[in-house]
Chains A and B, each alone.
Chain A
Amino acid sequence: MVGSPVLLIAIPLLAAFVIPLIGMIWKELVRIIPGLVLAYMLILSATLLYYVSQNGIIVETIAGWQPPWGINLVFSPLTGFLATLMSALGFLVWLFSYRFKRNVDFEPAKKYFIFLMLLIAGAIGIVITGDIFNQFVFIEITGISAYALTAFYTGRNSAEASFKYLMMGALASSFLLVAIAILYSQLGTLNMADIASKMHTMNPTYKIIALIFFITGIGIEAEIFPLNGWAPDAYTEAPGPVGAAFAGIVVKAGVYAIIRMIFTLFDIPSAYDFLIVIGLITLIVAETSALRQEKLKRMLAYSSIGQMGLVIVAFGIGTHEGVFAALFLMLNHAVIKPLLFFSGSSLVFNSKEKQIAEMNGLGKRMPLMAAFFSLGAFAIVGLPPFAGFWSKLSVLSAAANEGLLLIIVLILIVSVIEIVYYFRVVNRIFFQEYSREKSAAPHRPRVNALVAMFVLAIAILVIGFYPDAVTGILHNASKDLLNTDEYINNVLQLGQSLTR
């Protein structure tokens, strides 16, 4: 073994606080250290994920306190998959933003990487913790670093976006705390497995109220409509790689938290239907709002919200296929959306207003970026043979197996809308005349950014041509999510602890 799951949280947290100190020694280290940390985390989580798939889940206790008393971390196929995904994306975000725009200066770079490390630590914490209050703390860590990263550019808009995000985030944390208070007062425990095993004893009214507060609190992070007012603003005003991190890391953590609540903690079957309905509403509102956007990143933001809605619909189907499809969607979204954000932010790099209209003819000036963007667009609307197709197919197939034909129709109609706005952009890039004044030299992304995009593009193609590369992991993960009893037993009997 290379290490224990706790390192996945501890190391980035440590790195975040060490970065400014190290910066005093050699300024470049501020940029290098996060990369090393993220690479280590990626290797660690991938190894652990392999170990877990062979030997069963790892339950790690903190400071020797046994569950249900102490805080414990659960590294199962599901959480391990998400943690690996997040570390990988974190690494790519680091790679892309190594010398990103304002990052060339020391001070902004220092802040940027501190908050990026905190963001990733928080998101991974949300996923692998086995304690709801601990989860709350990680949500807040993620939130605060996300507010700071949104306000990374010093313009007026970023402050505005950040403030809206903060307002919603503060409300979210209030609702979460109330929900936790209700659960604790009723069950006297904060351990997820313990809560799950005792849930049937709880008064149904309190149970439902707690669930509602949980859904609201986490739904704000998971961008459920109508709780997602902050999301388009934050995505638009945050730097491109941060937008990618939001889409790929933060939202994933939020969605994980919701489904963990509904699948494992609460035994309310109708909550699945609620997920389907709310997911569909999110999907439809977001995608229709994206249709007439003028700013590229805002369009991507709405698209991202819509994808999350689709993920929630897929989870709401509740069967193995549904969960599998949802996880597949999450994976694809985490691969594709960062590519869109990376290449999109490079395409509009020189423009002040980041308008889509300014992208006319950029395909001739920046062919590689345009090609990456188009690849991402093709993949996200689900055209074969790219990655998005398989996940869309599995969602539809899962819905068909449950006889939910109306859902299929709605998803497909929305997909058409998605195609329209993505292809409008692709058309502009490639097939319209260059409109900006010639003097503006096209922005050439640095090598590190190119490598990051290449990795994502290759991932899209690999998943597209050979989906079996990932389906095994996803099947394991979805089995893990659905098997609530095993989760409870493993945690309460301490499974296999690395510490002992």
Chain B
Amino acid sequence: MNTIILIFIIFLGGAILTFLAGMLKGILKEVLFLASVFVPVVLFFTNISIGQTFSFQAAGFAFQWGITPLSYVFALIVAGLGLMAAIYAVSAMRNKDNVSFFYFNYILTIMSMLGILFSRDLISFFIFWEIMTWSSYLMVVYQGKDVQTVGIKYFIFSAVGAYAMLMAIVVIYSLTGSMMIDSLIQSFPGFSFNMQLLIPILLLIGFGVKSALMPLHVWAPGAYSHAPMAYSSVFSGALSKMGIYGMVIVMVSLISHIPGGHWFREVIAWLGGITAVMGTLWAIKQDDAKKLLAYSSIGQLGYIIVGVGIGTPLAMMSGLFLAVMHALFKGTLFMVVGAIERQTGTSNLTEVTGLIRKMPWTFLAALFAIIALAGIPPLGGFISKWMLYESLIGSNHYLLVIVIFFSSTAAFLYCYKFLFGFFLGQEETEWSHVKEAPAMMVVPMLILAVSTFVLGVFPGLILNPINEAMQTLGYANTQGHLWELSIIFNEWGNQIAMQPIVYTIIGIFLFFLTFLTIKGYKETRYVTTKDISSSGEVPKEHENLTFSMNFMQPFFRAVEPLMRRQIDKYYTGFANGMEALFDFTRRIYTGNGQTYAMYVVIFVVLLLLFKNIIFG
């Protein structure tokens, strides 16, 4: 049997079996769950080669599944993160209600994401896209919080996006008579100008929703923070990348063929830039770590979209690299929050403090991820951001550089808030009983965290596949001479230029760390937040004096005009207006039989009066 179809059969069968096993006691469902994620992923890594395809016919459409170099890069994210988060989920979701339902949707999400990447035709792309949408929707509402607002909002936006995409698909089908992505790309330059505009816009609406692009992002904070954290790491890390994947195809293979379509790229890039700034600003303001990470995801996806939107070789490479890095560190961070929430019962930064001694390994994972997120060398986040800046400057987008730089700097604030708020600072007696999370949760986090480091020092590991992907997209081969692309790479190729410097920095850092630890160990006094010896004020019992309380108030006073207008409010107003309107229009059905009879007569009379116009 073909391996491609085998992978999907195992996923699907595994999902159903896991769900059924949920009716039994014992760990059968956990075993089945891990097996049905693990086996296909292993099969994917061992038996799938690029270019291998599987075709069949159904419902009059030709289907073709196969992997391309571009989708391989994203499949690495999905498979790797999916596997890690699955291991994490088994431990994190223990003793929850309806775990098998969670497992079911988790497997379906992973399956559908791989399916999207495998799809070489638009129909199976859309089918997997929708499976991904509803399985992630079921995860968002899984915990039963605010389902009628957050859940519905997520689904409405997803549906609008998906339907825009569906419309594009049927229009493409009517124009080309084929559902293949390749044939779309081939025949796109021959379309009329209107279609050349309509199709990418519709597709970008679809992809923009999933990748939380600016006016379409309002679902994201709620959805990311309401899903179980084990799922959110995949949700934010991998699922949002599906939007990026689609966007890459649209930007490179379609939009570059529009005559005079350069401004289109600018618009997308600027939308990405605005998304980055606003996401970051809102992230700083959040007190709930889940919300913080959710907004941070929006901001980070903004960077990626800037890179993809600009579309020069370096920008595209930085965008894809950022996508991989974001999956790694944001996956880790959501897992960290999940671990903390599981151990302490809350994820509020103003309640939980000083966990570093209680959960050292979790702290370590969080530290790596935060460093990568903030873009500090030597972790991967630094290189990708550097490449982004360089590409923006290289293509004369100075204003955009300022925007991105502002956002990137502001991102330090929430990084700091997150790390300091949870782990550092004074310890509250309330959390003295907290223990380290189980090994099954910590190990996946650490693996992901370490891989951010590995990719930071040896970016060639991921840049090679990205390079191949970009070649198939039509970019020149940069294999072996990456240093021509960006000054950050040295002439050994594929490794960052400052490696000796980086090692020195690490050495110094480690030295001081050990030095300070040994020195400080003796002198440290552990106090609670209420123990303020430095100031004259005596705090009251219920006063919240945690670090994250009213974080950066002066800063917010400065940027307040930027944040006053919330798009969310407009959408809500629109939705409420619509509901009121529809509530009014349904009064056509008055309930009086005679009125209905009158409608019939009016209908006939109108038709008879205008019969020549209507049936002429």
Chain A residues in contact with chain B, CB under 8 A? 163-164, 167-168, 171, 175, 208-209, 211-213, 215-216, 220, 226-227, 229-230, 232-233, 268, 270-271, 274, 285, 288-289, 291-292, 378, 383-385, 389-390, 393-394, 396-397, 399-401, 403, 405, 408-409, 412, 415-417, 419-420, 423-424, 427-428, 430-433, 466-468, 471
User: In the bound complex, do residue B147 and residue A431 qualify as a contact, i.e. CB atoms below 8 Å apart?
Assistant: yes
Shortest C-beta distance, A206 to chain B (Å), equals 11
Among B257-265, B303-311, B459-467, B585-593, which stretch is in contact with chain A?
B585-593
B516 adjacent to chain A (CB < 8 Å):
no
* CB-contact partner of B144 in A401, A415, A432, under 8 A: A432
User: In the bound complex, do residue A378 and residue B134 qualify as a contact, i.e. CB atoms below 8 Å apart?
Assistant: yes
B166 adjacent to chain A (CB < 8 Å):
yes
B78 adjacent to chain A (CB < 8 Å):
no
A-B contact count (CB 8 A): 161
Given known contacts A213-B604, A415-B163, what 9 new A-B pairs fall within 8 Å (CB)? A208-B615, A216-B603, A226-B600, A232-B589, A383-B130, A399-B170, A430-B141, A431-B151, A467-B58
Q: 8 Å CB contacts to A: which residues of B39-59?
A: 57-59
Known contacts A397-B170, A416-B156, A432-B144: does B607 contact A384 (CB below 8 Å)? no
Q: Which residue of B lies closest to A172 (CB)?
A: B600
Q: In the complex, A280 Cα to B564 Cα: how many Å?
A: 40
Q: Which 4 A-B pairs have the closest CB atoms?
A: A229-B596, A289-B586, A467-B59, A400-B174
Q: 8 Å CB contacts to A: which residues of B128-177?
A: 130-131, 133-134, 137, 141-142, 144, 147-148, 151-152, 155-156, 159-160, 163-164, 166-167, 170-171, 173-174
User: In the bound complex, do residue A416 and residue B160 qualify as a contact, i.e. CB atoms below 8 Å apart?
Assistant: yes
User: In the bound complex, do residue A167 and residue B597 qualify as a contact, i.e. CB atoms below 8 Å apart?
Assistant: yes
- Range, interface on chain B: 35 or more
Q: Which residue of A lies closest to B127 (CB)?
A: A384
B518 adjacent to chain A (CB < 8 Å):
no
Q: In the complex, A163 Cα to B156 Cα: how many Å?
A: 39
Q: What are the residues of chain B within 8 A of A432 when measuring CB–CB? A: 144, 147-148
Shortest C-beta distance, A40 to chain B (Å), equals 32
Q: Chain A binding site: helix, strand, loop or mixed by DSSP?
A: helix
Q: In the complex, A424 Cα to B153 Cα: how many Å?
A: 11
B126 adjacent to chain A (CB < 8 Å):
yes
Q: Which residue of A lies closest to B177 (CB)?
A: A401
Shortest C-beta distance, A171 to chain B (Å), equals 5
B521 adjacent to chain A (CB < 8 Å):
no
Q: What are the residues of chain B within 8 A of A390 when measuring CB–CB? A: 59
User: In the bound complex, do residue A212 and residue B589 qualify as a contact, i.e. CB atoms below 8 Å apart?
Assistant: no
User: In the bound complex, do residue A171 and residue B134 qualify as a contact, i.e. CB atoms below 8 Å apart?
Assistant: no
Q: Which residue of B lies closest to A413 (CB)?
A: B163
Q: In the complex, A415 Cα to B160 Cα: how many Å?
A: 9
User: In the bound complex, do residue A393 and residue B166 qualify as a contact, i.e. CB atoms below 8 Å apart?
Assistant: yes
User: In the bound complex, do residue A408 and residue B615 qualify as a contact, i.e. CB atoms below 8 Å apart?
Assistant: no
Q: In the complex, A342 Cα to B595 Cα: how many Å?
A: 31
Shortest C-beta distance, B178 to chain A (Å), equals 12
B576-587 CB mask vs A (1 if < 8 Å, else 0) is 000101110110
User: In the bound complex, do residue B126 and residue A384 qualify as a contact, i.e. CB atoms below 8 Å apart?
Assistant: yes
User: In the bound complex, do residue B163 and residue A412 qualify as a contact, i.e. CB atoms below 8 Å apart?
Assistant: yes
User: In the bound complex, do residue B173 and residue A400 qualify as a contact, i.e. CB atoms below 8 Å apart?
Assistant: yes
* CB-contact partner of B159 in A291, A416, A466, under 8 A: A416
Known contacts A415-B159, A432-B144: does B585 contact A400 (CB below 8 Å)? no
Q: What are the residues of chain B within 8 A of A420 when measuring CB–CB? A: 152, 156
Q: What are the residues of chain A within 8 A of B134 when measuring CB–CB? A: 378, 383
Q: Which residue of A lies closest to B198 (CB)?
A: A405
User: In the bound complex, do residue A226 and residue B599 qualify as a contact, i.e. CB atoms below 8 Å apart?
Assistant: yes
B345 adjacent to chain A (CB < 8 Å):
no
Q: What are the residues of chain A within 8 A of B155 when measuring CB–CB? A: 419, 423
Known contacts A288-B582, A423-B155: does B167 contact A408 (CB below 8 Å)? yes
Q: What are the residues of chain A within 8 A of B171 when measuring CB–CB? A: 400, 405, 408
Q: What are the residues of chain B within 8 A of A164 when measuring CB–CB? A: 593, 596
B60 adjacent to chain A (CB < 8 Å):
yes
Shortest C-beta distance, B56 to chain A (Å), equals 10
Q: In the complex, A164 Cα to B594 Cα: how many Å?
A: 8
Shortest C-beta distance, A75 to chain B (Å), equals 26
